[in-house]
Amino acid sequence: MVFQQRLEQAQKQILTQAMLQSLQCLQMPSLELREFLHEAALSNPLLEVEDAPHDGPRPEAMEAAPETVLPIERREQLIWEGGGGLSDFTSCLTRPQTFSEYLDDQLGQSATLGGRMLALSRYLVGCLNSAGYLDCELHELAHEMDVPESELEQALFAVQALDPPGVGARSLSECLLLQLAQGREFTEVNIHMIRFGLPLLAEGDYAGLAKLLGVSPAEARRAGDVVRALNPIPSRGFCDRRGTALIAPEAVIRQAGDGLVIEMNEGAVPRVSLNREYCALVGDPGCQEAQLYLKEKLAEAKNLMNNMESRHETLFRLLCALAREQEGYFLRREDLLPMTMEQIAQRLNLNVSTISRAVKDKYVQFDGRIFPLRKLFSTALPTGGSAEAARSRLRRFVEAEAPDRPLSDEALAQALSGVGFSLSRRTVAKYRGELSIPPASQRRKKT
């Protein structure tokens, strides 16, 4: 092996700290950016971060360039229409209540639980699994808490008395029995079916159920319908904290005559400015020891302010370009046209990665709905049209189908072919899964 020294000249792109921060600000959604700015202000005394008021429009409203074909107006203040007129952007925020929060709220409002029992009940709520079941043995929990098992049993009774019915159950049978006990169908036949007949009910063996319960097949079927109507997952319908996030739209797009109005949600991001008192110390002969520190922090503050302005302008340019490309969708409620990030990047003379960062985790409001900005991009199908338009038409066909005769994937493919979307059955199944639509066998409803 021979070692040699060689000198080469090559061009490399090196991102400075300011450029990295610019990309970071562009990628963050408004609420995450809010936290980032407040943290930056804690480490930089020359930086002032102030939450914007929501009681009026910001000055210096800017308009789109006059050479645009589609008239687009820009407003700096998000205006929420509905109900009583103006309100701030927080009306757009959404974070569903978690299952544990819902149970804790009920426990806190109970007048019968003392301090110790309330603490034990909340401890048990924290032990519930994602389905709302208690899958830990009480004696193990009692040993862990160093309390009598009888006290934990009383706390469990308190939890099982909460809404929704069935919460805190230790088995499927107990969950169904807790629900059954709150209705008029708490009969001997139904109790016996839940305790011993669930395997036969899952197989649809009503003859075997009739024999097990000592009733007629018709009565066994009625009992089966009662049990099937119960909810085996008490936490169903509640959000999971891990998948929960606050959402604030970056802008509102709405129709105004023959054009569009883009109202930027300026209230979602704090205002960034320089602290005049500390800035006055820069160059002050009486603060020679702090000059290096002050100049460094001043440069950091100015870079952050420039990055914020760059983020704002990039988002507005992107929204204008999307509004022009999808004019039919916004003005005439037509299907989305095929459009990729690369096409928008070329139109705006930006890098594709910049568009990707600008779109990431960003939302806009249009026509009373808040949807991800990424939805406006859609790949083109080989036979014409966009994939998003095909998904939209697929959803309409499923919504219009007969409940007792749902359309198979093959039938859906034929229906889509009739309206100009030539897709294979496998592609239709893929799109159906992306729309969270179950297969035909699970959509069938008996009349």
* Domains defined along the chain, listed by start: 27-85+248-375 (no CATH), 99-228 (no CATH), 387-443 (1.10.10)
At 4 the three-state DSSP class reads coil
Beta pairing, strands 47-50 & 259-264: unpaired
Which pair of structure tokens corresponds to residue 418? 């009739």
pLDDT at 1: 58
| pLDDT classification of 269: cutoffs 50, 70, 90 | confident
Nearest to 372 by CA among 381, 364, 380: 364
Q: What pLDDT is stored for residue 50 in this prediction?
A: 87
Looking at every residue in the chain, the average pLDDT score rounds to 78
pLDDT number for residue 318:
92
Q: What is the pLDDT of residues 306-326, one digit of tens each?
A: 999 999 999 999 999 888 888
Question: pTM for the whole thing?
Answer: 0.52
pLDDT > 70? residue 2: no
Across 22-26, 77-81, 278-282, least confident range? 77-81
- Is residue 378 predicted with pLDDT exceeding 80? no
pLDDT at 424: 83
CB 103 within 8 A of CB 162: yes
Which tens digits make up the pLDDT trace of 133-162?
887 778 777 776 778 888 888 888 888 888
Specify the long-range contacts of residues 308-313, CB closer than 8 Å, at least 24 apart: 308/25, 308/37, 308/269, 308/272, 310/22, 310/25, 310/26, 311/22, 311/25, 311/26, 311/33, 312/264
In this structure, what token pair is assigned to residue 209?
């159920």
Residue 77 has pLDDT above 70, yes or no: no
- pLDDT (mean) for 234-238: 76
Q: Summarize pLDDT for 209-229 with one digit per residue, the tens.
A: 888 888 888 888 888 888 888
Nearest partner of 78 among 316, 246, 247, 250, judged by Cα:
250
Give the lowest-confidence range in 75-89, 237-251, 328-342: 75-89
In this predicted structure, the answer to whether residue 87 has a pLDDT above a threshold of 60 is no
Q: In degrees rounded to 5, what are phi and psi of residue 34? A: -60, -45
**Sheet containing 251-256: which strands, arranged edge to edge?**
72-75, 259-264, 251-256, 363-366, 369-372
Does residue 60 surpass a pLDDT of 50?
Answer: no
| Cβ atoms < 10 Å from Cβ of 30 | 24
Q: What phi and psi, each to the nearest 5 degrees, are found at residue 366?
A: -150, 135
Q: Does pLDDT of 240 surpass 70? A: no
**For residue 121, is pLDDT > 80?**
yes
Distances (CA, A) of 308 to 100, 314, 424, 433, 443: 38, 10, 46, 39, 48
Is the confidence at residue 39, as pLDDT, over 50?
yes
Enter the tokens of residue 446: 């008996």
Q: Which helix (H) or strand (E) holds 106?
A: helix 99-108
Residue 391 has which token pair? 């998904």
Q: Residue 168: which residues within 8 A CB-CB, separation 6 or more?
A: 124, 128, 132, 133, 134, 156, 159, 160, 162, 178
pLDDT at 82: 38
Query: For residue 339, is pLDDT > 50?
Result: yes
Predicted confidence at residue 357, as pLDDT, reads: 83
- Name the range with the highest mean pLDDT among 5-9, 237-241, 315-319: 315-319
Residue pointed to by tokens 């005769």: 405
What percent of the chain shows pLDDT beyond 90?
A: 4
Residue 359 to residues 29, 161, 316, 355, 372, Cα–Cα distance (Å):
9, 46, 12, 6, 8
Find which of 16-20, 237-241, 264-268 is predicted with most confidence, using mean pLDDT.
Answer: 264-268
Residue, of 247 and 56, whose pLDDT is higher: 247
Is the model's pLDDT at 67 over the cut of 50?
A: no
Please determine, for residue 409, whether its predicted confidence score (pLDDT) is greater than 70.
yes
Reply yes or no on whether the pLDDT at 243 is more than 60: no
285 or 41, greater pLDDT: 41
Contact 252, 371 (CB under 8 A): no
**HSE of 305, CA atoms in CB hemisphere, 13 A:** 17
**DSSP per-residue letters across 212-278:** HHTS-HHHHHHHHHHHHTS-S-TTTTSBPGGG------SEEEEEETTEEEEEE-GGGS-EEEE-HHH
Q: Which of 153, 51, 165, 53 is nearest to 106 (CA)?
A: 165
